[in-house]
Structure 1
């Protein structure tokens, strides 16, 4: 059956009968979990198996946002509380190698937790810059202000996830750090000149253009396309993401149901895919919205399938079985290394 270039959420901790029928009929590429879907380890493993069973693919990707800090769908006491990204930037400012090691171990620990549940894609790390005066939607989710430091910490985080068999998703390409508003609720507009963006916001992504997956930013860059947000802009995707940044991995749009985007969700999915996104993401699990998106999405392109398979190969190649040194991580975080 032809793959649909979509990733969908589901409504609750168990898969409903209507959802099962819908997923079997539409065959989305994969699924995404949120806190509403996560209660216990056994429950999550059962839900993941049911989601994959609904499409008849044991390797259908299952995503989650498990960055650490305030963006974590899996929380204590059942799961480890990982620090926010800026903690690693702070350590790296004092001791570069210690910061990189801590970021790598932390992501490996996250990846180990996810892999144990059957979750194989983490929507992390954030490569956006933490810039003064910007909205705090990014804030401590960023590794720091300097693109080179953000990139090297981001690479360490990606390596840690891959070592656990989990695919990283770098976000929010080509950069959300300058947003003066939260794209969950309104469309940010960035008026910074293109040359400055290329030297700063876009640079961390350029330095990690070999990563397997990336997620777009819902914001307008007036210097590139004043009329459309990056997710819906052929110009931003072709000239910046695929061109200047040189990213050739699977490009996933950010959640289509976020309030930054206006209009019919089916039309938004069509626009995102036509602009150059490989996959349309919809997170809230509302069936009427998913039906419209699936009807508009069509079939996954050969180029998107190639990029997806490239990521799978990276995932398989990256898996290691070495134990994670949690004591070493604790020492690094205390500054005792």
Structure 2
């Protein structure tokens, strides 16, 4: 029985305890962090072992946005620019911004596919709001909803070219937060009228395969519970007002924005309407208890999960690393390091070396 959970791992390879735990509990998917990524060969082996533990070709997630949030980076992989670069380019040329953003995510997608990763927690559809906490900052494309929506679609398209599933985040919009949800619960006091601008990019991409709900409270929607634990926000705002139809996963439930024990956080997220939960950075014994708390993946959640998995396919177009980098540089002026210092994907061997 597959459980509706995305599990993390401790290090660069699976321990015997983790192999046994995952074989017994069968989490739907996995997520890797920087601590799990060292070399292409090591990541490939880890992904292979994770899939062997559950006996199927499951999704394996990572955060590979660019800028400050990038798990695969120099000296092996190129440093991707922050997403704000494409919002800045938008003011000069919508067409060039869209093409450059798609190339960025095509490149990121091929990085991930080459080592066995199949889902990327990007694009960030939060608006950039003046005076808000820098936790979003240049991770946001722009303050303009139309720009964010168009570039968000370009990001999903670029990932899909490489056969990688994208994840829109952080539903229903975290751009106004004055605190970092990793540390404390942001409380957003904007009116429903103001929040409608924030949700416009999510409405435009409401048929994305996967969406991630964030940990922030909205006075106008549910003053008592963060979005990730609020049935009112998920049912009436995310599923209702936005009309999001894809698989809804939580952001990491271990974050400081939430209170209560781990098992309570998981139960509250499921009760609120999340399809799949994720709680990371816990020792093995705690993860065993957490996984036993997760629900079975069934019903509408299972249907949405299967639709999301269907987006993890073989790459749809041939990939020429040198050509992509050159075109991206021509569009943006972004200076990539010399190829000899960063490696490049070989489409024949599917390796990044």
- CA deviation map 1:209-254 (0-9, x unaligned): 0100011110000101111000000010001110111111010100
Counterpart mapping for 1:181-260 below 5 A: 181-198=179-196, 200-260=197-257
Check whether the contact 1:91–1:335 (CA below 8 A) recurs between aligned residues. Answer: no
1:158/1:168 contact within 8 Å kept: yes
Q: Answer whether contact 2:47 2:117 (CA < 8 A) is retained.
A: yes
Count of paired positions: 333
Indicate the SS of the match to 1:29. strand
SS of corresponding position for 1:31: strand
State the Cα distance separating 1:78 from its structure 2 match.
0.4
Residues 289-334 of structure 1 deviation map (CA, whole Å, 9 limit, x = unaligned): 3223212112112111100111233343973335452211111121
Report 1:284-323 matches (<5 A): 284-316=281-313, 319-323=316-320
SS at match of 1:316: coil
Provide structure 2 residue ranges, at least 5 long, that are not aligned to the other structure: 336-353
Q: 1:16-65: CA deviations, max 9, x gaps?
A: 111111111110001000010001000000000011111111x1110000
- Would you say the 8 A contact 1:8–1:285 is kept in 2? no
Task: Please state whether the residue corresponding to 2:49 is helix, strand or coil.
Answer: helix
Does structure 1 retain, via aligned residues, the 8 Å contact 2:206–2:243?
yes
Map 1:48-63; keep pairs closer than 5 Å.
48-57=47-56, 59-63=57-61
Per the TM alignment, residue 278 of structure 1 is displaced from its structure 2 partner at its CA by 0.6
Matching residue within 160, 178, 181 for 1:180: 178
What's the TM-score, normalizing by structure 2? 0.92
Q: Deviations over 1:116-149 (max 9, x none)?
A: 0010000001000100010000000000001111
Quote the Cα distance in structure 2 between the aligned partners of 1:265 and 1:115.
Answer: 32
CA distance in 2, matches of 1:97, 1:318: 23
2:130 is the counterpart of 1:148: no
From 100, 103, 117, the equivalent of 1:102 is: 100
1:36 has 2:35 as partner: yes
Counterpart residue number, 2:339: none
Measure the CA separation in 1 of the matches of 2:194 and 2:314: 36
Structure 2 match to 1:268: 265
Give yes or no for contact 2:254–2:281 (8 Å, CA) kept in 1.
yes
Structure 1 length-normalised TM? 0.96
Q: Tell me how large the CA RMSD over aligned residues is.
A: 1.4
